[in-house]
Amino acid sequence: METIASTPQDWFNYIARGLSSNALIQYVIRLDAEIDYALLSQAVLRSIQLEPVLGCRFQEEELQPVWTPVAFEPESLCRLVETNDIQKEIDCFLSQELDAAQEPPIKLCLIKDNKQNVVVVKLNHAVCDGAGSKYFLKLLADSYTQLSRKEAVVPAENKLPRNTQAFYEALAIQEPQSYFDPKKAELSSSWGFPVENGETATPVFSHQLLRLGKTDFLRIRQFAKEHQYSINSVLMAAYYLALREVLTPAERANELQFTVDLRSYLPADSQQMICNLSAILNADMPTPNADFSVMVGLVEKAVKTALASDGLVHGTIGGDLAGTFGFQATADFFKADWTNILETGKCTPMISNLGRLDTSPMSFGGITISDLYLVSPAFYAPAFMFGVSTYEDVLTVCASYYNPGISHEHIQKLLAIMKNHLATCC
């Protein structure tokens, strides 16, 4: 297998590991019956056949790193753990690192007790973003199903480029460098999550969840529909209000970052999936309003304004142009910028909503997925992000973070306030 070109977005997420975040996208999958470990391991290998970059490691080079094939034992990519304490093993696996410089950017663990089967998926962010990780889940489940049915399938490698060229072509931008306006690519930052005492202690990965069941989620969806709001705006409003109450920032701290999947701009039949193809935008948030419905409407306008600003295009071009200086120069810039963030304490809070994880039927050879949710990348303060996913009309908000940099109490309070705001929709 040949090497595969890396992209500047790959670089940014690779450089972030151990610096600003753990650079991991993870999932917890609960199944309603026993799954076959051997078939699951084979499904992982078949996924690598279809998407060869999953069987590579990130090889640093001063100018242009590459994804290079790496030898591995199948059991190193898919472990089996039998236990009497399934939650303890889930938390243990979620806390483990995955170094894309040394090993493939994917790892699974099948955890069993006498009642449950749980698969935990770990993907290094350097190989793909959130939308790409959703595609991997479907790829894995489909591969398992084909193997369980003994279907004679000859995997065809995906040889599509992993870069942004198709995005520019979809927008009829022939010369990105000439189109580029650096002012439109800027992301302001006037606040961040305060660093707690205990900086000298070894940071420990932690995560907390807010889960809203089907009844509550459908009421939120109905609320959004009645007011012609997006569910994302409802979540952003609740998140922003909770942040302001917990962090009590200065009045001028009014922006919130959100992610955008650039694949939504590509043709419907596009197969460019296992890659980093997303952008971050700042929404200038309104002054908090006591009427939550009014607040959501104002947030909706702020999001639409941000999307109409062309910032995601210029931000994407800016990232690609940064890549022209080479990997080492990009890494040096990233590290210097993070040092500045630590000194100023300013790194705008972010929300990444992957939406529905079950946009198409998904099961493992007839074994139903009873529960599925995202465990988002964990950031070091002052950076912070909420990850959101929905499966079978159950909405999960995940806060992944490092303690003692961020206190458990702050996160508990943040999620509780957000839940209270969302309850006004119900």
Question: What pLDDT score was predicted for residue 419?
Answer: 97
Amino acid identity of residue 232, one-letter, is: N
- Which two tokens mark 384? 């912070």
Q: Which stretches within 54-153 are classed as H helix? A: 74-77, 86-95, 130-148
Question: What pLDDT score was predicted for residue 200?
Answer: 64
| Residues ≥6 apart with Cβ < 8 Å to 264 | none
Dihedral, 285, 289, 294, 300 alpha carbons, nearest 10: 10
Question: What pLDDT score was predicted for residue 159?
Answer: 79
Helix/strand/coil percentages in the chain, nearest 5: 40, 25, 35
To the nearest whole number, what is the mean pLDDT of the chain? 94
CB neighbours of residue 227 within 10 Å:
15
Structural contact between residues 334 and 126, judged by C-beta atoms closer than 8 angstroms = no
Q: What is the mean pLDDT of residues 110-114?
A: 94
**What pLDDT digit, counting tens, does each position of 269-324 carry?**
888 999 999 999 999 999 988 899 999 999 999 999 999 988 999 999 999 999 99
φ/ψ of residue 225, rounded to 5:
-65, -45
Question: What pLDDT score was predicted for residue 199?
Answer: 55
Q: What is the mean pLDDT of residues 77-103?
A: 96
CA 265 to chain centre: 19
**What pLDDT digit, counting tens, does each position of 165-213 carry?**
999 999 999 999 999 999 999 898 999 998 886 556 788 999 999 999 9
Question: What pLDDT score was predicted for residue 102?
Answer: 95
Question: What pLDDT score was predicted for residue 198?
Answer: 59
- Specify the higher pLDDT residue, 158 or 48: 48
Dist CA 299 CA 306 (whole Å): 11
Adjacent-strand bridge partners of 227:
none
**What pLDDT digit, counting tens, does each position of 55-85 carry?**
999 999 999 999 999 999 889 999 999 999 9
CA 93 to chain centre: 18
- Kind of pairing between the strands at 255-261 and 350-356: parallel
- Which two tokens mark 167? 């995005």
Percentage of the chain surpassing pLDDT 70?
98
| Residues ≥6 apart with Cβ < 8 Å to 179 | 173, 313, 314, 317
pLDDT surpassing 70 at residue 349: yes
CA 286 to chain centre: 26
Question: What pLDDT score was predicted for residue 88?
Answer: 96
Question: What pLDDT score was predicted for residue 154?
Answer: 65
Helix or strand (DSSP H, E) at 391: strand 385-391
CA angle 111, 19, 205 (to 5 degrees): 35
Dist CA 134 CA 421 (whole Å): 28
What count of Cα atoms within 13 Å lies in the side-chain half-sphere of residue 308?
7
pLDDT surpassing 70 at residue 130: yes
pLDDT class of 249 with cuts at 50, 70, 90: confident
Longest dimension (CA), the chain: 62
Q: Of the candidates 208, 284, 286, 288, which has an alpha carbon nearest to the alpha carbon of residue 248?
A: 288
Question: What pLDDT score was predicted for residue 24?
Answer: 98
pLDDT surpassing 80 at residue 111: yes
404 prior amide bond cis, ω within 30: yes
pTM above 0.85, yes or no: yes
Helix or strand (DSSP H, E) at 215: helix 214-227
pLDDT surpassing 90 at residue 127: yes
Structural contact between residues 185 and 317, judged by C-beta atoms closer than 8 angstroms = yes
pLDDT surpassing 90 at residue 114: no
pLDDT class of 371 with cuts at 50, 70, 90: very high
**What pLDDT digit, counting tens, does each position of 14-32 carry?**
999 989 999 999 999 999 9
pLDDT surpassing 90 at residue 361: no
CA 107 to chain centre: 16
Structural contact between residues 396 and 209, judged by C-beta atoms closer than 8 angstroms = yes
pLDDT surpassing 80 at residue 252: no
- Specify the higher pLDDT residue, 157 or 140: 140
Residue listed under structure tokens 């493939």 = 104
Question: What pLDDT score was predicted for residue 258?
Answer: 97
